[in-house]
Amino acid sequence: MAKKAPAFTEAEILEQAPPQFHNQLLPFTSTAYYTYFDAFLLGLKLDTFFQGSGPCIEDIIYTLDDMSFFYNNMSNTQWRKPSQWIGPVFNLSHAAAGNASSSLPDCYIMGENAFTAFIAYYNSFSSLSNFI
């Protein structure tokens, strides 16, 4: 018995396959956790005590959003053609050069201000009534 030639090659089968669907990650600012975190920060009042805490926290939150966009872009890419790599590469470079890079100096400024405030509170401490 002679072998039959396959009806389709593997490449043709891959081209005709339906796309795979992945669960999409919501950006952090679109979840309920962001609402809880925002309410926590409102109660903590970091801006009242430490200058520069607002930009630091915003940069970190938007970096989490950028990483969820990167994950969604990676899970939707089929990686068969090099031309499809451009989306994840641009997304990763935006995440690294955007909010993530600006969070470093902003959080350093917040840390310096927090340290200065801590030293001032420590030096002016007289009794436990200072906590009230």
**pLDDT tens digits, one per residue of 97-109:** 988 999 999 999 9
Q: Is residue 38 part of a domain?
A: no
Does residue 58 form part of some domain?
yes
Q: Please, which pLDDT band fits residue 10 given cuts at 50, 70 and 90?
A: low
- What pTM was estimated for this model as a whole? 0.71
Q: Is 75 a domain residue?
A: yes
| CA 98/CA 54 separation, integer angstroms | 17
Domain membership of residue 59 (yes or no) is: yes
Residue 19 lies in a domain: no
81 vs 40, higher pLDDT: 40
Domain range enclosing 116:
52-122
**pLDDT bucket at 1, cuts 50 / 70 / 90:** low
Q: Is residue 45 part of a domain?
A: no
Report the C-alpha gap between 121 and 101 in whole angstroms: 31
Domain total of the chain:
1
Which residue stretches of the chain are H helix? Answer: 10-16, 32-44, 46-49, 53-76, 86-97, 99-123
Whether 109 is covered by a domain: the verdict is yes
81 found inside a domain: yes
